[in-house]
């Protein structure tokens, strides 16, 4: 697992280090994928290629880290939204507009962000950095520095508090509830 040594041998890596690693191994990942000649190049069927465990693990780590860097691209926007909120937080109408503006990104795009990356231990105090990848069979864990996501985390927590806990935009919650019921009904009929 030479490809993973850099990530495994550090207790925490930065987003910059993750992006460097992704760039360094992107050709290797393409090579692994290009060498797969199974009939299942779509998401419809599982891959039956004879990949080594090392290749499978490298692919898993690569795609997990790549997904996390996609979230990091929202960090600057999150910081701007926190600053904007602090300027308007005394005005309920403006807060509601802020929630509406950020509803898609916070309630859809970031819906599971906190759960996926910061809910990995029973003891909440242990959830310091973001868990980007875990493989219990090989005892591999890759943690990314929380500081690289501090605005995104604060933005998501702020939005969730105002939207879900304080219910400052109840119309949005009603729509979500209706969408969930519609989806559940469709699944029950299938």
pLDDT tens for 170-186 read: 999 999 999 999 998 88
Q: Which pLDDT does position 47 carry in this prediction?
A: 66
Q: Which of 109, 86, 116, 111 is nearest to 98 (CA)?
A: 86
135, 148 contact by CB (below 8 A): no
Sketch the domain layout of the chain as residue ranges: 2-189
CA dist 181 → 24, 46, 163, 177 (Å): 45, 30, 19, 6
Q: Helix, strand, coil: what percent of the chain each, to 5?
A: 65, 5, 25
Q: How many other CB atoms are found less than 10 A from the CB of residue 4?
A: 20
| Residue 144: strand pairing partners | 13, 130
Q: Say if residues 54 and 131 touch (Cβ distance below 8 Å).
A: no
pLDDT tens-digit map of 17-53: 999 999 999 999 999 999 886 655 555 666 677 888 8
Q: How far apart are CA 162 and CA 153, in angstroms?
A: 14
pLDDT of 39 reads 52
CA pair distance 16, 152, nearest whole angstrom: 16
- pLDDT reported for residue 59: 94
Distance separating alpha carbons of residues 65 and 68, to the nearest angstrom? 5
Residues of the chain with pLDDT under 70: 1, 37-47
* pLDDT of the residue at 186: 85
- Alpha-carbon torsion (160, 164, 167, 169), positive or negative: positive
**Torsions phi, psi for 53 (to 5 deg):** -60, -40
Q: Which value, in Å, is the radius of gyration of the alpha carbons in the chain? A: 20
Dihedral (CA of 175, 176, 181, 185) sign:
positive
3-state secondary structure of 147: helix
């Amino acid at each position: 697992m030479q490809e993973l040594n850099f990530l495994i041998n550090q207790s925490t890596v930065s987003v910059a280090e993750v992006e460097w690693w992704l760039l360094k191994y992107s050709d290797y990942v393409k090579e692994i994928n290009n060498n797969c000649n199974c009939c299942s190049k779509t998401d419809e069927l599982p891959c039956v290629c004879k990949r080594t465990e090392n290749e499978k693990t490298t692919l898993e780590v690569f795609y997990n880290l790549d997904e996390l860097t996609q979230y990091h691209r929202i960090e600057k926007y999150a910081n701007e939204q926190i600053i904007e909120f602090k300027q308007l937080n005394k005005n309920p109408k403006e807060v509601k507009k802020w929630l509406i503006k950020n509803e898609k990104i916070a309630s859809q795009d970031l819906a599971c962000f906190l759960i996926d990356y910061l809910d990995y231990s029973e003891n909440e105090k242990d959830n310091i950095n973001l868990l980007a990848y875990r493989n219990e069979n090989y005892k591999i864990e890759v943690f990314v520095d929380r500081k690289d996501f501090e605005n995104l985390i604060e933005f998501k927590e702020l939005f969730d508090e105002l939207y879900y806990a304080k219910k400052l935009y109840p119309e949005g919650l009603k729509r979500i509830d209706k969408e969930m019921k519609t989806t559940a009904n469709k699944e029950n009929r299938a």
